[in-house]
Amino acid sequence: MEFVIWILDFLLMSRPKIGAHVSAAGGLSTAFGRAKEIGAECIQIFGSTPRSWSVKLPSAEEARRFKETGKKAHIDPVYLHAPYLINLGSGEKRLFGASQASLKGHLKIAEMLGAKGVIFHVGSAKGSTKEKAIPQIASSLKTILKEIPGKSFLILENAAGGGDKIGAMSGEVADILKRVGSSRVKVCLDTAHAFEAGIISAYASSEISKLCEEWDKTVGLERIVALHANDSKTAYNSHNDRHENIGEGCIGLAGFKALAKEQRLWNKDWILEVPGVNHEGPNKENVDRLKSCFS
């Protein structure tokens, strides 16, 4: 078994870990079995239902079983994704309060499960302004980190842009990071969102290099811990967040092959959030397609 693990580690030296968002229906630990079936090497899950403000914490036994199952499956790291309901930039007090409480709860789950962190959408300035929303977001993140000490990260995901959405541009993400001033705040870069936001017109070598240089200058590539590797169903600069299977969208297989050559991104975990060939979420075919881009 140790030899097999050594071989896997050796192979991963030539590419990043490739994983996927998988269902945890039937118990959090069941996610690892689904991940193994599709060939995922790391995973993203919902730690609690994403359709409710209430957060159900796992029991101590469930958390222990989750860690043990993950270790046996040799699938690591684990990321949680926060509910899409969250909007820390909201000018509505009740929505902001519920958002902060929800993210706090999901970070608590991440700590209990030994997860690397919680990926979340920053939100929008609807009902306020970006000038007010960004400091509010930073202050909220400071509060959450103080109340939930530990090692798990809060991971900002770039947005598809449009309207009052915050976090599409690297400068806005960098502003939040600077205001929070904590090493526990990291970044997840979504390939579809970047394309849909209009910050990269095509995934060609020269454009990918420019994108990396821009984010390195503003955010710092070392702050990016994960990529959401998603093709886009909508066109460049559409501001319409719709994911597509690898090679079937506007980015295309050639785009992911070019992205795979950017070695500055190899130390990030690449996580699929695609619809899947049967519209049941990321599947083995999509995982294999992404892996093949590195060969």
pLDDT tens for 8-39 read: 555 556 899 999 999 999 999 999 999 999 99
Specify if 211 maps to a domain. yes
* Contact call for residues 157 and 119 (beta carbons, < 8 A): yes
Say what the pTM is. 0.95
What region, left, alpha or beta, does residue 271 occupy, with left being phi > 0 and alpha being psi -120 to 50 degrees? Answer: beta
For the stretch 137-184, pLDDT in tens is 999 999 999 999 999 999 999 999 999 999 999 999 999 999 999 999
Specify if 78 maps to a domain. yes
Specify if 11 maps to a domain. no
Q: Which residues contact 187 (CB under 8 A, 6 or more apart)?
A: 155, 156, 157, 158, 173, 177, 219, 223, 224, 225
Specify if 234 maps to a domain. yes
Specify if 98 maps to a domain. yes
Specify if 169 maps to a domain. yes
Specify if 13 maps to a domain. no
Parent domain of 239? 19-292
pLDDT at 281 over 80: yes
Nearest-angstrom CA–CA distance, 258 and 104: 37
Provide the number of structural domains found in the chain: 1
Q: What is the CATH number of the domain that holds 56?
A: 3.20.20.150
